[in-house]
Structure 1
Amino acid sequence: MSPTPQEVVEYFFICQSLTHSLKEIYLEPERFDPDRFSQERQEHKKYPFSLVGFGGGPRICIGIAFAKMEMKIIAACLLRNYHWEILPNQSLETVLFPSNRPKDGLRVRFQPR
């Protein structure tokens, strides 16, 4: 006798912090290395769904291209026009859930150059 749909409970979770730190996918995953995504290396394309920041497959975020361009523009403006200073007395210890972030957030002082 097979179970009814009410009796079957299955859960599936994707853990980005675990996936993004697998040595089978990324060389030196704990090291900050933006070049791992370069055209020459493309480590994130070794396996499907190795990089899951915007989802994947048919349910990938429709705003992915816009979001990536927006991040580049904002970063360029902040890096070009401001001096950054991370403020003291905050914990930068990593909290993994619901997403990778510093425990106390990240308080930064921006001063015009």
Structure 2
Amino acid sequence: MLPDFTITPLSGPAIYWEHLGMLDNPEYAARWQRRLKWYAQQGVLPEEDGGGPNGILVWTSEEYGVDEPEWRALAQRVIDAAAIRRARPAPSKKTAARPRNPERPRLAGPS
């Protein structure tokens, strides 16, 4: 199973964010309940319960309409609680030139 979003902090457990857009559909709601239990079995627990050893679970839904201010507040709270890993280009490796072994003959290049 893949969450809708994963936030990977530099330290501490990952944050898994699910957006539940169809909770008014009974089959979808039942699948969510099964998925919630699955997360708990994996050690990923809800943010309001303090999270789990293998991750923190948060979710949003449209059950009562889109509540953008509340979703932003949730995002800010969760993101502020973790240092977010930012993709950085790998530093270029600088190596010193190897000294030439005077006892080893140089190979001749193509003629």
TM-score range, shorter chain: under 0.3
Q: Which has the higher contact order (CA 8 A, sep 6+)?
A: 2
Larger radius of gyration: 2
What is the TM-score normalised by the length of structure 1?
0.25
Q: Which has the higher strand share?
A: 2
